Structure 1
Amino acid sequence: MTNFKIRKYKNTVTEAELYEALNYVNHSREKRSYYAQMILNNLELVAPLLNILFTVDDKVSCRAAWVFEYACSADISISHRHLDYFTENINRVHLDPAVRPVAKVCELLIANHYKAKAVTPNVLSLDHRERITEACFDWMISDQKVAVKAYSMSTLYQLGREFDWIHPELLIILERDFAKESAAFKARARHIIKRLKSKR
Structure 2
Amino acid sequence: MLLQQLEHTLTKSKMVKLAAIAGNDSLSLPELLDMCFYHRTEIAFRAAWILEHVTTHYPERFVPYLADFLSRYPKQQNPSCQRHFTNILIFLTGNRAEKKGIRLTGYDMLPIVETTFNWLIAVDTAIAVKANCMEVLYNLRHTADWITEELHQQLLFLQRDGGPAIQSRSRKIMEKLNG
TM-score by length of 1: 0.79
Give per-residue Cα distances to partners, 1:84-112, cap 9 Å, x unaligned: 22111112212222111011111111115
Structure 2 gaps, min length 5? none
Q: Does the 8 Å contact 1:76/1:108 carry over to 2?
A: no
Q: Tell me the equivalent position of 1:53.
A: 36
Q: Distance in 2 between matches of 1:18 and 1:124?
A: 32
Q: Within 5 Å, give how 1:49-128 maps onto structure 2.
A: 49-55=32-38, 57-59=39-41, 60-112=43-95, 115=98, 118-127=99-108
Q: Within 5 Å, give how 1:160-171 maps onto structure 2.
A: 160-171=141-152
Q: Tell me the equivalent position of 1:137.
A: 117
Quote the offset at 1:179 in angstroms.
2.6
Q: 2:156 aligns with which of 171, 175, 188?
A: 175
Q: Does the 8 Å contact 2:70/2:112 carry over to 1?
A: yes
Computed over aligned residues only, the root mean square deviation of the Cα atoms, in angstroms, reads: 2.0
Structure 1 gaps, min length 5? 1-16
Structure 1's consecutive aligned runs of 4 or more residues displaced over 4 angstroms after TM superposition are none
Q: Distance in 2 between matches of 1:102 and 1:124?
A: 19
Q: Does 1:21 align with 2:5?
A: yes
Identity of aligned residues (%): 25
Partner amino acid, structure 1, of 2:17 = Y
Paired residues, number? 177
Q: Distance in 2 between matches of 1:106 and 1:121?
A: 12
Partner amino acid, structure 1, of 2:40 = D
